[in-house]
Amino acid sequence: MRNRLILLPGWGLGVSPLEPLAAALRGLDEHLQVEIEPLPELDSADLEDWLDELDARIPQEVWLGGWSLGGMLASELAARRGEACCGVLTLASNPAFVAHEQWPNAMPGETFDAFLAGCQADPRTTLKRFALLCAQGSPDSRGLSRLLLGGAPATAPAVLMAGLELLAQLDTRQALQGFRGPQFHLFGGQDALVPAEAAGALFALLPDIEIGLIEQASHAFLLEDPHGVAGAIQAFLHECADD
């Protein structure tokens, strides 16, 4: 199954942001099976509940990847599976989404708390604001945010809240340090949700893994340049195949 890659989406916007990337990857390598697995629709913010459902749905011995929250979950699932996972790759995915003392290169806690309160009061407006933040830093941020929002599924407010609460508590540093397989983490230089400094901090934590930074790119760089991102992923997978 070394030729199979499962991609997990980010919070709230569904699978559509990953579709152009999946198509570009398939176009580059006809032997690579790329599938997008939707996130669990749970009203629980317990990480183990999310991992249990993903573990049951996703076959063993595959590459695990994801965007933002999806990348964090892919990292945790890879650590849980150990040698039964080919490797992990993340896109615009911070080890901790919310800043804390040991990981300051993330969203300030008060900004996230305001976001959480906004989602509780008005999920639709919060999702719109989130799409705008995802697209901030792109040359066509308005067009990109409309694209993100246009493909977003109708998700129950309780599920959106659970996803945000999970995002607030996740810290994948231990999972990434414990996972012995190949890793590739790609960041955007103009990302309004994940500071570019997180790339350097992760490299300091794990110097033997592959880390990339796309200088002029937003949080939604996978939609800005799916072919460029696919090329970087394919180069990483080929390098691992040669080892």
> How do residues 205-214 score in pLDDT, each as one tens digit?
999 999 999 9
Going along the chain from its start, the domains and CATH numbers come out as 4-242 (3.40.50.1820)
* 4-8 and 63-67 strand pairing: parallel
Give the pLDDT confidence of 10-47 residue by residue, as tens digits.
Answer: 999 999 999 999 999 999 998 999 999 999 999 999 99
With cut-offs at 50, 70 and 90, classify the pLDDT of residue 225.
very high
pTM equals 0.96
